[in-house]
Each structure stands twice: as structure tokens, then as C-alpha cells.
Amino acid sequence: MQTRLPDSLLATLEGATADAILRKCVHCGFCLATCPTYQLLGDELDSPRGRIYLIKNALEGGQGAATTLQHLDRCLGCRACETTCPSGVRYHQLLDIGRRAVQARVARPWRVRLTRALLRRGLLSPLFAPALRLGQSIRPLLPAALRDKVPVADRPRVAGSGRAPQAGGRRQAQAQAQAQAQASAGHAVILPRGCVQPHLRPAIDTATEQVLAALGDRVLRPAAAACCGAMPAHLDDIAAARAQARANIDAWWPLLESGAARAIISNASGCGLALRDYPDWFADEPVYAARARRVADAALDIAAWLAQRREAWPAHWTATPRQTVAWHPPCTLQHGLAAGPSTEATLGELGFDLRRPADAHLCCGSAGAWSVLNPELADELRRRKLETLDTQAGEAIVTANIGCQQHLAARSSRPVRHWVELLAAREGAAG
């Protein structure tokens, strides 16, 4: 694609980056077929190619328009278009640059601004947990739209087993003894602090720790670390996202450099993708960019870590009868991290019989804060997703990201779980 960005913009890192990305697009339109918003709305301006034109126009000095911002805001950021694109267009990076440029010139409607501000502050506030507990206690009384966002209270529990994780007694003592015996052969790994996941679904962290203990690995959680920064980044608050990323880099980098920690393990693919994006967030700060690269290289989804630690798998993980589950691969996993096939292969080795619907490449409509900002579109994408997942057999719908899990669970007739919860349940069964 030919471009005519002003020289003043080309002289900046963002401008040069945007220009290079725009020039890679050959207008072929292959990406339209896998874009959820184009499928829903049928408008070229709600497709990747249409948005690329809008961004090009805005960066070349065209009038910023409220409708341009609306089309950009409707993008889920699912990156399905990047998986499809034969030219390797890094669309998500262009979207971030384009949206920042347009929103600097055009104000969003006040209701949207208010919702975004509440999301930015509310989800990371210390008041989030008490507010969630209050919402859970009066959940049946809440309006349906709000009830969707407030999951039923979740005790730390291993899904599939119907039991709370081993909280005491003989089995716990056996598990601890086994873990300690293996610990000398295991590795120390960093488990990032989530922001909403520990409150919405604490069972995921509990299950992850059980699975790592079964490998003999030790969990490090430096107190100075923060949330990954994905949520403010989704809401275009790059300053807040960078502040959180900087806190994490400062807390983790010394552990990685000294060899005290072997890897950073993510049990939410949305967070894992944010960690992989850290080098882009610090592209204009050479010292932090290098450290961010180190962090990004050490970041692994829990499935990728299990694949590396195959020799330490307890025998009962693979000896159990195969478990049939309907599989929803999050966009952050399959398009962002490009780890869909490798995750599926590892889960297959672990005895999961994954039933994957035909539209598995499409977003479920969660997409971080997007579902709150675009409720009608999010509802329709979820309806379509559950319709196809319901054609697949399985005791549960299984996924790998808290956002998808909560979004689907609000309307699913079957339980929706992170697969690590089902794997950890085998620990209890073997005790």
C-alpha cells in the first residue's frame, strides 16, 4: 500500500512503525473472512482492511471523525486477521497507533468515556474484590446485564472433581511430601499476579500451583510485581500499562538474570500475550526494551511449560481415562501467541480429547473490556460461539483464559473451566 505520511510523523518511532506496517498491506482482503465484526456487520469499515484504510487516512492528516473512532473501537483486537494475512501485517500494532492518533483529535461520547474511566480505575482498584463479593451476595437481585458480569462465588475448588483442593489431611500431606521430594529436581518459576482472575476464579491459581508442585517446581511471586498491564493497554491507557509492566520487569528481571527463576508461567493467555508485547511497549526506551525482551522470552503459557517438563509428569496424569471436553482456544492463545496447535498437542498427550468446533478460530466476544463496551455485539458473538460449542461432546467447555471463561460461563448450560483445573483434579483422584 502506498503511503503519504507527513515527514514530521515519519520522523517519530510510531510514525515510522505505522508506515512500515501500512506498506506491507496488499489490499488482498483475505483477512475479511476471519474478522468477527465484518461477519456480524458486513461493513468493510468494520473489517481489518477497512480499518487499515481509516488509520492510513487519519495518519496522513485526514480529518479525524467520530465514526472513524467508532469503527476502530469496534475492533476486538482478536488478531484473527494477523493469522490469516499472507503479508505478515502487524495489524494490532497499527491499531494501537491509529487509535491513539484519532482519539487525540476526536472525543468519544461522554457515556463511553465514563465507562472506560470506570473500567480503568475499577478493575485494578483495591475496592474491586469487596465490590465483587457484594455483587455476588446480591447476584439474584441484579439486572440481567450486570448479573452476566458477576460470576457465582467460587471457592478455591478443583473443577471436575467436585472437591475443594486438598486443604488438609492425609492426601495433602502425601502431596506435599511428594512435591518436596521432587523439589530438588524441579525449577523455580514466576507466577504473575492477576488482577481480576484471583477474585473471579481463584481455583485457577490453586490448580496451577498444584500442577507445578506435582512437577516439583516452586512458585515465586515477588511482592513488588503488579498486574500484567493488559487491561489498561486495551483501554489505550499506555502510561498505566507501562507503569505496571515496569514494576514487573523490575521485580522479575533480577530473578531471570541471576538464574533464580527459570520461566514466567502464565495461566491466562491474555496476560501471557501482554508479557510477550512488553518489548513493543518500551520500544523507545533501550534499557527497558532489552529487559522487556528478556521477560518476553521467559514468558510461557502453562501448557508450553508442561510440554518442556514432560519428563517430570506424574504417571497418573496420562494413565487416567481420556477426558472428552469441548475446546475453546482463546484468540490470545491461538492468534496472539500462535500457540494453538502446540497447546492442543500437549493437552492431547495429557489425555484430553479436545472437541474443536468449526468456528474455533473466531472470537467468543469477550476480548478484555470490549464486551462491556460493546454489549450487543458481544452477546451475539457469544450466542454463536455457544451454539457451535454445544454441537461438541464433553463434560465441560474448556479454555485457557479467564475472560473467555467468564464470558461463556454466563450463558453456557455446561461448566466452563480452565483446562488446568481439570488436570489438577487428577492430583486429588491420585492421592
Q: Supply the minimum distance, in Å, between the C-beta of residue 72 and ligand SF4.
A: 9
Q: CB nearer to ligand SF4: give 6 or 29.
A: 29
The CA-based angle 368-373-376, given to 5 degrees, is: 105
**H or E segment and range at residue 251:** helix 238-258
92/309 with CB nearer ligand SF4: 92
**Closest approach of Cβ 18 to ligand SF4, in Å?**
14
- As beta bridge partners, residue 327 has 398
DSSP state of 158: B
Nearest distance in Å: CB 236, ligand SF4: 15
Question: 3-state class of 45 per DSSP?
Answer: helix
**What's the rounded Cα separation, in Å, for the pair 396 and 82?**
29
Q: Where are the extended beta strands (E) located within 93-237? A: 188-190, 218-220
Cα–Cα nearest to 394, from 427, 352, 358, 426: 352
The nearest distance, CB 367 to ligand SF4, in angstroms, is 8
Under a CB-based contact definition with an 8 Å cutoff, are residues 238 and 226 in contact?
no
Query: Given the complex with ligand SF4, which of 30 and 128 has the nearer CB atom?
Result: 30
Q: Output 89 or 203, the one with its CB closest to ligand SF4.
A: 89
Least spacing, CB of residue 298 vs ligand SF4, in Å: 26
Exposed e or buried b for every residue in 10-38, given b needs 16+ CB within 10 A? Answer: eeeebbebbbebbeebeeeeebbebbbbb
* Measured distance CA(154)–CA(316) in Å, rounded: 27
Residue 234 CB, shortest distance to ligand SF4, in Å, is: 12
Q: Which is nearer to ligand SF4, 51 or 199 (CB)?
A: 51
Nearer to ligand SF4, 21 or 200 (CB): 21
Minimum Å gap between C-beta 20 and ligand SF4 is 13
Which residues are within 8 A (CB) of 233 and not within 5 positions of it... i.e. 6 or more apart? Answer: 96, 241, 274, 277, 281
- Helix, strand or coil, per DSSP, at residue 79: coil
Residue nearer to ligand SF4 on the CB measure, 349 or 380: 380
Q: Which is nearer to ligand SF4, 37 or 68 (CB)?
A: 37
Could you tell me the smallest distance in angstroms from the CB atom of residue 35 to ligand SF4? 3
Q: Minimal distance in Å, beta carbon 333 to ligand SF4?
A: 14
Which residues are at the interface with ligand SF4 (CB under 6 A)? 25-31, 34-37, 48-49, 51, 75-81, 84-85, 87, 89, 91
For 91, residues 6+ apart whose C-beta sits below 8 A from its C-beta are 21, 31, 48, 51, 52, 79, 81, 82, 85
Its sign, for the CA torsion 373, 379, 384, 386, is: positive
Which amino acid, residue 119?
A: L
Is the CB of 339 or the CB of 347 nearer to ligand SF4? Answer: 339
What one-letter code names the amino acid at 115?
T
Amino acid code (one letter) for 404 = C
